[in-house]
């Protein structure tokens, strides 16, 4: 672990903006194109690690590029949940902003005004994302090895 007694080390928390090419590759659900997504992901992680290093970030990360998004990440990597696409739940996690800025939400984030489909727990919950974690760690290690970071 990197430490310093001379200054406060810098890092950041949360997802960084994914490149359009990665977003487009992620939308392609054709199993035959999965390799293209994996290559795009590896390149995007290498780029974001390099950018963080150039910006002076001490503790870099993968920008959370290997994760599909804030809530879907845990659902994809855990068993025991089933989607409920026919029932929309209010996006209460957006707080009062979904009401106070209803016009903006309707234009820019419609799910925030109409609700989002939910999931139900239908069985035992167990972690099942080991391969995804290994892939994310491999991508980060590879990117860190190609950049001057500790």
Distance CA 2, CA 9 (A): 9
pLDDT band at 139 (very low <50, low <70, confident <90, very high): very high
Predicted pLDDT of residue 80: 96
Phi, psi (degrees; rounded to nearest 5) at 86: -85, -5
pLDDT above 90 (res 62): yes
Average pLDDT over residues 18-27: 92
Contacts of 131 (CB under 8 A, 6+ apart): none
Distance CA 116, CA 120 (A): 13
Phi, psi (degrees; rounded to nearest 5) at 88: -100, 135
pLDDT tens column, 103-137: 998 898 888 888 888 899 999 999 999 999 999 99
Looking up tokens 């845990």, which residue turns up? 74
- Average pLDDT of the chain, as a whole number: 90
Q: What is the dihedral of CA 119, 13, 64, 2, to 10 degrees?
A: -140
């Amino acid at each position: 672990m990197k430490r310093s007694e001379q200054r406060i080390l810098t890092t950041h928390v949360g997802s960084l903006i994914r490149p359009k090419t990665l977003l487009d590759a992620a939308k392609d659900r054709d199993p035959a194109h999965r390799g293209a997504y994996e290559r795009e992901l590896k390149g995007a992680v290498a780029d974001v690690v390099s950018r963080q290093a150039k910006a002076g970030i001490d503790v870099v990360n993968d920008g959370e590029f290997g994760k599909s998004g804030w809530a879907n990440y845990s659902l994809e990597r855990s068993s025991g949940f089933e989607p409920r696409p026919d029932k929309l739940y209010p996006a209460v996690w957006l707080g009062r902003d979904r009401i106070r800025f209803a016009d903006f939400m309707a234009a820019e984030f419609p799910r925030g005004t109409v609700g989002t489909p939910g999931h139900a727990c239908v069985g035992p919950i167990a972690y099942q994302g080991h391969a995804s974690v290994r892939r994310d760690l491999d991508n980060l290690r590879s990117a860190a090895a190609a950049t001057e970071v500790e």
